[in-house]
């Protein structure tokens, strides 16, 4: 039995090779949540961008509950047919790397990977596996928090609902619709750029992106799917 863990900035997602899975807040990593990971495991594989304190906590829990010591995926210059464009590959988040490995090894063709998490990352891969570069922009909630934390006189009603991009007629609507407008513009830009290539979508806001894009493959576990290629043998 293999346990795969995707430790992000907001959530920790986990999946067992028998299909069981779960999710918990990264800040709420507790005994109760770890017990759901099961027992009698052969391997624990981890993709983490949550930082070293969280990584150490995962190790401590594995030790406490008699689980195998976790093996952490690392971003490499080349893996599973994909060549990293970064001069220093370790500077690329391992979640981006694993999502690209999973997408390319599914498509075996030119593809674009969009991960709509705390940050939105967009990466392009050629038909021959060359990473062509990408974009990183704030995610929807990060845009909102960033605006509000740096503009003391903007007061926003969090109850503004729906995805609307019409000009707002009060401050709350202007802020939320402006953020939505930025997100939709990103979607339209990516759809224009990708043309006939394969589009892969993941992340917490991936469902919204998929809806606006009107296509592409929505794969919530894309990072976990890339773990087998991201762990050194």
Pairing label, strands 43-48, 71-72: parallel
Q: Supply angle C-alpha 45, 52, 9, rounded to 5.
A: 80
Query: What average pLDDT score do residues 178-194 get?
Result: 85
Active site residues: 95
Class of domain 2-72: alpha beta
Percent of the chain with pLDDT over 90: 55
pLDDT band at 161 (very low <50, low <70, confident <90, very high): low
Give residue 154's pLDDT.
Answer: 55
Q: Where are the beta strands (DSSP E) in 80-212?
A: 82-83, 111-116, 119-125, 131-138, 198-202
Q: Supply angle C-alpha 158, 215, 201, rounded to 5.
A: 65
Give residue 89's pLDDT.
Answer: 96
Q: Tell whether the model's pLDDT for residue 104 goes beyond 70.
A: yes
Q: How many CB atoms are closer than 10 A to CB 145?
A: 13
Q: Domain locations in the chain? A: 2-72, 78-140+164-230
Q: Considering the entire predicted model, what is its pTM? A: 0.88
Give residue 227's pLDDT.
Answer: 96
State CA 89 to chain mean position distance. 18
Cα radius of gyration (the chain): 19
168/180 Cα distance (integer angstroms): 11
Q: Tell whether the model's pLDDT for residue 70 goes beyond 90.
A: yes
Q: 78-140+164-230: same fold as 2-72?
A: yes
Using a CB cutoff of 8 Å and minimum separation of 24, what contacts does 10-13 make?
Answer: 10/117, 10/118, 10/204, 11/204, 12/50, 12/54, 13/221, 13/223, 13/224
Superfamily designation of domain 78-140+164-230: ATPase, nucleotide binding domain (3.30.420.40)
Q: Tell whether the model's pLDDT for residue 114 goes beyond 80.
A: yes
pLDDT band at 143 (very low <50, low <70, confident <90, very high): confident
């Amino acid at each position: 039995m293999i346990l795969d863990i995707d430790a992000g900035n907001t959530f920790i997602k986990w999946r067992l090779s028998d299909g069981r899975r779960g999710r918990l807040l990264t800040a709420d990593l507790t005994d109760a949540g770890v017990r759901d990971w099961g027992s009698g495991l052969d391997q624990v594989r981890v993709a983490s961008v949550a930082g070293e304190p969280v990584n150490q906590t995962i190790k401590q829990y594995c030790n406490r509950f008699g689980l195998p010591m976790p093996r952490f995926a690392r971003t490499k210059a080349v893996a599973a047919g994909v060549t990293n464009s970064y001069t220093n590959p370790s500077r690329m988040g391992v979640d981006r790397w694993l999502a690209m490995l999973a997408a390319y090894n599914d498509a075996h063709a030119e593809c674009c990977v969009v991960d709509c998490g705390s940050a939105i990352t967009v990466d392009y891969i050629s038909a021959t596996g060359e990473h062509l570069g990408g974009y990183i922009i704030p995610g929807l909630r990060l845009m909102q928090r960033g605006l509000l934390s740096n503009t003391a006189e903007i007061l926003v009603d969090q109850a503004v609902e729906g995805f609307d991009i019409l000009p707002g007629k009060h401050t709350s609507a202007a802020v939320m619709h402006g953020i939505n407008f930025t997100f939709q513009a990103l979607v339209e830009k990516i759809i224009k750029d990708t043309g006939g290539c394969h589009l892969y979508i993941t992340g917490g806001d991936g469902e919204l992106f998929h809806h606006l894009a009107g296509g592409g493959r929505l794969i919530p576990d894309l990072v976990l799917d890339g773990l087998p290629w991201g762990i050194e043998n």
